[in-house]
């Protein structure tokens, strides 16, 4: 399983992590800092980001859809990902923007490939067709004990509770294992951030990695 990189003018940043890891908060912080530095930034999420993908998201995450087959789930994620890339992400990257996305292909590999037991290679093949070589330049993985993440969700009355939130603790621990496998497979872009630390510390550590990527891209130009 090898990542490919699509030639483009922008920078593609993805934020990964288990449920309740704090991805949304971090994305807002990083986008704000990057804009202050004069960069054009677009934030988005998966599944979703555009009407078609948001409609697929509703099907995938609806709490009542407990009968959903694991392969169906993987295919729906890949379909939403493809439309999102074609309609929103790829055009922004071609225009030279920094795209910061809440979840991408690593989520499918960790959740469906590892935790659902479909296999990393099988899920990678589905998504390789969908992403057409468009891989992230940098992935920040927020690593957190699943018990803490699920507790955060319970305490946050504003966050939506979806079908994945209702999975067993064992499932979420398996997701974490999946991400750790990906860390060893994609060493050139995958950075693990300790999400048990304060929001300020998480933002600081993440910004150091992102700023380094922005600086190197400037130097290449």
17 is in an annotated binding site: yes
Per-residue pLDDT tens over the stretch 23-56: 999 999 999 999 999 999 999 999 999 999 999 9
Q: Does 149 belong to an annotated binding site?
A: no
pLDDT at 220 over 70: no
Q: Flag whether 22 is marked binding.
A: yes
User: Does residue 5 sit within a domain?
Assistant: no
23 is in an annotated binding site: yes
**Residues 110-136, mean pLDDT to the nearest whole number:** 97
Integer Cα distance of 29 and 8 in angstroms: 24
48 is in an annotated binding site: no
Q: Is pLDDT above 50 for 5?
A: no
Q: What is the mean pLDDT of the chain?
A: 93
Q: Does 57 reside within a domain?
A: yes
* Structural domain total, the chain: 1
Q: Quick one: pLDDT at residue 46?
A: 98
Beta-strand runs (E) in the chain: 11-17, 41-45, 98-102, 138-143, 190-194
At residue 117, the pLDDT reads: 98
Residue 6 has pLDDT above 70, yes or no: no
In this structure, is residue 2 part of a structural domain?
no
Residue 151 lies in a domain: yes
Distance CA 193, CA 142 (A): 5
CA–CA gap between residue 6 and residue 14 (Å, rounded): 15
117 is known to lie in a ligand binding site: no
Least confident of 59-73, 155-169, 190-204: 155-169
Within-domain flag for 185? yes
Q: What is the pLDDT of residue 165?
A: 83
Indicate the Cα dihedral angle 176, 187, 40, 205, nearest 10°: 70
Q: What is the CATH number of the domain that holds 159?
A: 3.40.50.300
Assess if residue 6 is contained within a domain: no
94: domain range?
A: 11-219
The percentage of the chain sitting over the pLDDT mark of 70, rounded to a whole number, equals 94
Domain assignment present for residue 3? The answer is no
- The predicted-structure confidence for 149-191, as pLDDT tens digits, reads as follows 999 988 887 777 788 888 999 999 999 999 999 999 999 999 9
Q: Is the pLDDT of residue 98 over 90?
A: yes
In a domain, 178, yes or no: yes
């Amino acid at each position: 399983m090898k990542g490919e990189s699509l030639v483009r003018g922008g920078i593609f940043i993805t934020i990964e992590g288990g449920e309740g890891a704090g991805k949304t908060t971090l994305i807002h912080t990083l986008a704000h800092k990057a804009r202050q530095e004069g960069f054009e930034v677009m934030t988005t999420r998966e599944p979703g980001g555009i009407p078609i993908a948001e409609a697929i998201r509703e099907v995938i995450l609806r709490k009542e859809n407990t009968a959903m087959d694991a392969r169906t789930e993987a295919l729906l994620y890949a379909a939403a990902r493809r439309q999102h890339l074609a309609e929103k992400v790829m055009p922004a990257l071609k225009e030279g923007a920094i795209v910061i996305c809440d979840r991408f292909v690593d989520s499918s590999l960790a959740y469906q490939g590892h935790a659902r037991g479909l296999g990393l290679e099988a899920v990678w093949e589905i998504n390789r067709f969908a992403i057409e070589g468009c891989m992230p330049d940098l992935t920040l993985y927020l690593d957190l004990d699943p018990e803490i993440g699920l507790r955060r969700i319970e305490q946050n009355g504003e966050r939506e509770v979806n079908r994945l939130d209702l999975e067993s603790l064992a499932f979420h621990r398996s997701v974490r294992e999946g991400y750790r496998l990906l860390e060893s497979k994609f060493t050139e872009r995958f950075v693990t951030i300790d999400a048990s630390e304060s929001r300020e510390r998480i933002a600081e550590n993440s910004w150091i990695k992102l700023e380094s990527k922005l600086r190197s891209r400037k130097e290449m130009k």
